[in-house]
């Protein structure tokens, strides 16, 4: 369909969750000096002006990053994430918001490699412009699902794969599972982070069921909801499913999710889930 543009949603509660988790995982991987590979299946533009017409139209950032901007009691992991957003803004004012590629490029080192996939031609051009001159980064205009599978296993044998489509098409719920299974068969030790929206609960339940039956071990789920499930409301929350999560991740999310559920919730209806989808045998 190719109608989705992330600029309308930049900095919302889903971005907060996704990028908080991404930062934590990348910080963990960077504790070792060995090179690693970061692969983004749907990289989008890489950064967004919150003063643009698109961002202002829905102003979703007002119920996301804006609510954290002036807080002085953030858990350490949230404070780290917010500091990175502040560095992207280069001022005390919140006027722009970085995408996943920027967070990754900021945290990763000179020896690391980043593969950014984006199907939209305009967004791909924006990505290329944003990271021109950075030899670590390869921007690929094309299908991110096939791109992820084709890159496995990375030569570094260490890395993180972020899979975060828009789910414009219902079949994408099945497609993300197929991508995960095929990539994991080729590179079983990598960290995989799958984002999903909370729109129709039954789709998420099916997704979890398939992963439980997949034979993959060490799968953790982290979900943030800003209001109660409501199929007429739109996206009431979002979640991240992580394969091979860092041992540091659970502790950080145990601190962050209750805080986010309280501060980003709509009329006190916030909630969160932390669940082991599949443990380690």
Give dist(CA 125, CA 128) in Å, integer.
5
CB atoms within 10 A of CB 9: 22
Q: Tell me the backbone φ, ψ of residue 86, rounded to 5 degrees.
A: -65, -40
Catalytic residue list contains 164: yes
Helix axes 144-151, 172-186, angle to 10 degrees: 10
Give dist(CA 144, CA 148) in Å, integer.
6
8 A C-beta contact, residue 13 and residue 63: yes
Instruction: Name the 3-class secondary structure at 214.
Output: coil
Give dist(CA 239, CA 195) in Å, integer.
6
76, 164, 232, 250: which is the annotated catalytic residue? 164
Report H helices in the chain.
13-29, 53-58, 66-69, 76-89, 100-107, 121-130, 144-151, 172-186, 201-212, 247-263
Give dist(CA 36, CA 23) in Å, integer.
15
Measure the N-to-C terminal CA separation of the chain; round to a whole number of Å. 41
Contacts of 160 (CB under 8 A, 6+ apart): 22, 25, 26, 29, 36, 37, 38, 39, 190, 191, 192, 193
- Residues involved in catalysis: 164
């Amino acid at each position: 369909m190719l109608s989705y543009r992330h600029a309308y949603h930049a900095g919302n509660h889903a971005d907060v969750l996704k990028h908080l988790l991404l930062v934590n995982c990348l910080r963990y991987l960077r504790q070792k000096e060995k090179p690693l590979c970061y692969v983004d299946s749907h990289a989008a533009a890489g950064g967004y002006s919150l003063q643009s017409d698109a961002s202002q139209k829905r102003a979703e950032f007002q119920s996301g990053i804006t609510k954290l901007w002036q807080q002085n009691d953030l858990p350490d992991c949230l404070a780290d994430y917010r500091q990175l957003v502040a560095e992207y803004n280069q001022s005390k004012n919140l006027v722009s918001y970085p995408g996943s590629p920027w967070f990754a490029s900021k945290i990763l080192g000179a020896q690391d490699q980043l593969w950014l996939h984006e199907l939209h031609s305009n967004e791909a051009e924006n990505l290329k412009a944003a990271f021109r001159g950075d030899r670590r980064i390869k921007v690929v205009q094309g299908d991110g699902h096939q791109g992820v599978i084709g890159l496995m296993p990375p030569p570094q044998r260490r890395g993180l794969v972020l899979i975060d489509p828009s789910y414009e098409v219902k079949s994408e719920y099945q497609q993300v599972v197929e991508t995960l299974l095929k990539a994991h068969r080729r590179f079983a030790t990598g960290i995989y982070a799958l984002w999903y929206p909370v729109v129709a609960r039954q789709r998420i339940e099916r997704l979890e069921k398939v992963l439980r039956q997949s034979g993959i071990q060490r799968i953790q789920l982290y979900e943030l909801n800003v209001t109660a499930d409501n199929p007429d409301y739109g996206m009431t929350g979002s979640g991240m499913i992580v394969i091979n999560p860092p041992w540091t991740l659970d502790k950080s999310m145990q601190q962050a999710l209750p805080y986010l559920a309280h501060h980003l919730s709509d009329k006190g209806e916030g909630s969160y889930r932390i669940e082991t989808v599949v443990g380690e045998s």
